[in-house]
Amino acid sequence: MEMIVEELQRPVVLDASFERRVMVRVRRFHAQNRARRGKLARVAASITHHPAWTAAIAASLVAVTTFGIMNGRLRTPAVSGAAIEPTRFVLVAPTAQSVSVVGDFNNWGLGDSALVATSNHGVWSVTAQVPAGVHRYAFVVNGKDWRADPTAPRSPGDDFGMPSSALVVEEGSK
């Protein structure tokens, strides 16, 4: 069986014209689509001056937005195209005066971007909108004490002498 598989795994090389043929189809579709969009834009421009059309469009936009929210999590695309997932961070620190969360997803707190957690009898928590993907983060207690998340995998990239944790956010995982 190994010999059969080895034989079947040999590469198949297509000739150079393949890519050209695909791109001919793609460019044709692109051109048609652009023409269609241009036509729609012209139609839209002509109806925006009509009060009845304007009211109808405004009503449909409200309906779409409401539908999106009512049917579950409203996902916002990140710059990279990854979905945004709500992620909850929790740290038990009964004597802390303040706890914040910093990481790849919020510029490590630079420029006042740290996520400020709230305390419920020393159980500090905050929910952040985190893009799907691999992240590193840490808690900052009392503005100066950097701590890893004791419940999360450790991140080995402890390059600056302070611990951090690893977070893998899957799309639709929460």
Cα–Cα distance for residue pair 93/142, rounded to 1 Å: 10
CB-wise, 39 or 154, nearer to other proteins? 154
Minimal distance, residue 77 CB to other proteins, in Å: 10
Minimal distance, residue 80 CB to other proteins, in Å: 6
CB-wise, 11 or 51, nearer to other proteins? 11
Cα–Cα distance for residue pair 105/18, rounded to 1 Å: 41
Cα–Cα distance for residue pair 95/122, rounded to 1 Å: 7
Minimal distance, residue 45 CB to other proteins, in Å: 20
Which residues of the chain form contacts with other proteins (CB under 8 A)? 1, 3-5, 7-14, 18-19, 21-23, 25-27, 29-30, 80-83, 102, 104, 107-112, 132-134, 136, 143-144, 146, 151, 153-157, 159-162, 164, 166, 168, 170-171
- Most distant pair of Cα atoms in the chain: their distance: 73
CB-wise, 5 or 69, nearer to other proteins? 5
3-state helix, strand, coil in the chain (%, to 5): 40, 25, 35
Minimal distance, residue 171 CB to other proteins, in Å: 7
Minimal distance, residue 13 CB to other proteins, in Å: 5
Give 132's contacts (C-beta < 8 A, 6+ positions apart).
Answer: 82, 83, 84, 85, 169, 170, 171, 173
CA 172 to chain centre: 10
CB-wise, 71 or 120, nearer to other proteins? 71
**E strands present in 48-164:** 84-92, 99-103, 115-116, 118-120, 123-131, 133-141, 145-147
CB-wise, 1 or 70, nearer to other proteins? 1
Taking only Cα atoms into account, the Rg of the chain, rounded to an integer number of angstroms, comes to 26
